[in-house]
Structure 1
Amino acid sequence: MQSGYVTTPFGRRPMSLALVQRQLATAGIKPGKTADKWKVFRDASEARGLLGLQDRSLAVLDALLSFYPDNELRQDAQLIVFPSNAQLALRAHGIAGATLRRHLGLLVDAGLIVRKDSANGKRYARKDKAGSIETAFGFDLSPLLSRAEELAMLAQKVVADRLAFRRAKENLTICRRDVRKLISAAMEEGAPGDWEAIEAIYIGVLARLPRTPAQSDVHAALDEMELLRGEIINILEMQQNTEKTSTNDAHVERHIQNSKPESIHELEPRSEKEQGAKAGGSDEAPSTPLRNFPLGMVLNACPDIAMYGPGGKIGGWKDLMSAAVVVRSMLGISPSAYQEACEVMGAENAAVAVACILERAGHINSPGGYLRDLTRRAERGEFSLGPVLMALLRGQSGGNRKAG
């Protein structure tokens, strides 16, 4: 291979420092290095967008490689090909002369070939007495060998980006379908909520997508659409919890009216056993009463939940449950895990549990798994929120080990 020095182009073609750097790089090819020329060509073809090349440029590169006799590019071989423009145009599927010169320039600018021009700009080879090529002037293919690994990595990146783009478009299609059908179902069934405003947001997200979206456009739209879907699910969950709470409130009110006056104090905690710990000698786990703890106590123990309430504050149990739904989604707790907690603990106690998890988020690896574990223990009568709230009130949660 004839390298190790810098050659300047013939005639009016300009020289650049980038061209100098590329030529110096070819001089540093590791001794004995080889690469399959068609594998390198396929990688360059895959990465053509990153290299600033067009399909015609690849046709010219393919033609140049066809003039190299071996399938392997070798560091110790003569890597200069010297076809005439007529021969090159013929192998490049009859490309016009001006177009050929333009795409040869693009290949040089992309750093895939280097011109090695003779004194008069002609391409030819000078042979020794044994018939071996001694000196050649034409196009040096050394950059392809030098950049073989780089081109392979660029090709892999393009393939990965294409796959990610396809998946993003698929996810966007599914998310669009989910949002559209959820909005339609909510409107048709008269669910509470400003569904016209939500629908306007949905239409706006789609309107911002260009006719031929780029990958960044699709990812941006997907992020917005997923947030919208999450908000819709939160609204529907809040409605469901509100309906369940209203039913529970009516049940509790009847219970209070039919009990002795002092029985109202059963709604306040008295002991760990009364708050849900398993009673000795009983085969059944006691049911957990609704609103076991004063709301003020919960907010003092878990102040972080307040910022997620309506208007950034919590004025009642309904606000706490609304905030818990928002926090549930933020912490990655699945709707099914939260629903199960509501069924076992009651809606208010489930909201308190989520508030406690938020307060201890830095010590919990899996909030969803942690809530499911608490729910199973509460179902067996082995768990009470009282000790958790008292520990938070005493400010001792910072010394706990990671849970979850």
Structure 2
Amino acid sequence: MMEIGTTTTPFGRRGAKLSLVRRQVEAENTSSDRSVDKWSVFRDACEARDMLGLQDRPLSVLNALLSFYPHAELCEDKGLVVFPSNVQLSARANGISGATLRRALFALVEAGLIERRDSPNGKRYAHRDTSGAVEKAFGFDLKPLLLRAGELALMAQKVVQERLQLKRARENLTLCRRDVRKLITAALEEGIAGDWDALDAAYRRIVQRIPRDPGLQQLALLLQDMEDLRQQVFNVLDFQQNVQNMNGNADLNEQHKQNSKPDSIHELEPRFEKKQGAAAEVDNNRQNAWLTAFPLAMVLRACPQMADYTSGGMIGTWRDFLAAAVVVRSTLGISPSAFEEACEVMGPEAAAITIACMLERAGHIHSPGGYLRGLTAKARKGEFSVGPPLMALLRLNGRGERAVS
């Protein structure tokens, strides 16, 4: 049974809605001994505007109503009814028209943020006692804001979290889309075997499905499809590279039969001590078995500055690349011992690629020698590989432009 307290139905020709009357009665019968910062509640309402179904104008009017409340915190003991005239409200709500003001007030009531307390003649005023304190006021009751403060805070928090998730989903889709586009382009330019036309068509179909203002669920589906396509591209690249490495390993094995001491990066760095016995065999096996994750041309696309450290300005083979790494090592001020340790832990080719990546970012590295030793220590524990920094530089340098520090 509805317990009737002090309720007022709308003045004039405005009809009464039973749902609003019930809500007003519930608010009247609910008391709160807490107090909340009025502007904090207002900010939460602004964040939750879409969930509340509100636009700019009603929120502007709510801001004006709160400005007429004389205290910093909403508190039931201090009274929660404000009674400005339409002229005063309009002035504080950036001069909106009377019709717009009425629609905004109606929207605030519908959203359950304020309640009307209409007087017998529809005017807004207050009865005061002999000391000037307000005994009874007719106007707009802010009590719903006090009672719903916790709910509004949760709504605002949910909106902020969804906005953050949406932002991250957009970023992830952009990064994944860029990876697919540039890898396909690089593969086509370098003549790597594969059905790149079909993969490019699949990429374009996904891009065409991206709406102008996608929601979180749409972005999640698009991101999944783009990540699947990126994996397909990597699978094709890995397959072709494995074929190339199998052919290359056969040649290396033949050379190993003819020469028990094949060319290595250690021969290019005279100051390195030659290893003997089992240690030398481990190094040779590592070099013969090491599989480059990317073609040499792709590595040079990511690290174009390496060509500047060769006699002819060209790198055509991995041996040329390793020789350039020795020169860059000296240029960066990295000690031979630090470079040798990196070669032992990572393998010569991976160490040379690491040096090339450091060259591209030299302006951001304070101590190249210490930086390389740190990466070597991580690689020893399995916490570092050349793939991520190489892909980052490939994205940065794009079609072969030099990175700008």
| TM-score normalised to structure 1 length | 0.58
Deviation at 1:79, TM superposition (A): 0.3
Aligned residues: 268
Match of 2:19 in 1: 17
Q: Contact 1:85/1:97 (CA < 8 Å) preserved in 2? A: yes
Following superposition of structure 1 onto structure 2, how do residues 2-401 of structure 1 map, counting pairs within 5 Å? 4-10=5-11, 11-17=13-19, 20-21=22-23, 23-25=25-27, 27-31=29-33, 33-245=34-246
Structure 1: gaps (5+ residues):
254-281, 288-339, 341-371, 374-404
Shift of 1:6: 4.2
Amino acid at match of 2:35: T
The question of whether the paired residues in 2 share the 8 Å contact of 1:182 and 1:232 is answered with yes
In 1: Cα distance, 2:26 partner to 2:162 partner: 31
C-alpha RMSD over aligned residues? 3.4
Q: SS at 1:35's partner residue?
A: strand
Percent of pairs with identical residues: 53
Q: Structure 1 residues 19 and 51, CA, compared in 2 at 3 Å: closer, same or farther?
A: farther
For residues 191 and 97 of structure 1, do their structure 2 counterparts lie closer, same or farther at Cα, with a shift above 3 Å needed? Answer: same
1:247 Cα shift?
6.0
Deviation at 1:252, TM superposition (A): 10
Cα distance in 2 for residues equivalent to 1:242 and 1:21 = 74
Bigger drift between 166-175 and 206-215 goes to: 206-215
Using the TM superposition, give the Cα deviation of residue 59 of structure 1 relative to its aligned residue in structure 2, in angstroms.
Answer: 1.0
Shift of the alpha carbon at 1:249? Answer: 8.0
The Cα shift of 1:128 comes to 2.7
Distance 1:46 1:206 in 2: 31
CA–CA distance in structure 2, aligned partners of residues 75 and 137 of structure 1: 16
Q: Which residue of 1 aligns with 2:401?
A: none
Distance 1:29 1:174 in 2: 52
Question: 1:4: Cα distance to partner?
Answer: 5.0
Do the aligned partners of residues 230 and 18 (structure 1) sit closer, same or farther apart at CA in structure 2, a change above 3 Å counting? Answer: farther
- Asked if structure 1 preserves the Cα contact closer than 8 Å seen for 2:6 and 2:28, the reply is no
Counterpart AA for 1:124: Y
CA shift for structure 1 position 119: 2.4
Shift of 1:250: 9.1
**C-alpha distance in structure 1 between counterparts of 2:221 and 2:108, whole Å:** 34
Relative to 1, partners in 2 of residues 1:207 and 1:24: Cα closer, same or farther, differing over 3 Å? Answer: same
- Given that 1:22 and 1:111 are in contact with CA atoms closer than 8 Å, whether structure 2 keeps it comes out as no
Change (3 A) 1:25 1:234: farther
Alpha carbons 2:118, 2:138 under 8 Å: kept: yes
Provide the secondary structure at the position in 1 that maps to 2:26.
Answer: helix
CA distance in 1, matches of 2:24, 2:156: 20
Q: How much does 1:109 deviate? A: 1.1
What SS class does the counterpart of residue 76 from structure 1 fall into? Answer: helix
For each residue in 1:356-381, what CA deviation from the matched residue of structure 2 results, as whole angstroms up to 9, or x when unmatched?
Answer: xxxxxxxxxxxxxxxx99xxxxxxxx
Any stretches of 5+ residues in structure 2 without a counterpart? 255-277, 286-345, 347-380, 383-405
The whole-number CA distance in structure 2 between the counterparts of 1:85 and 1:164 is: 41
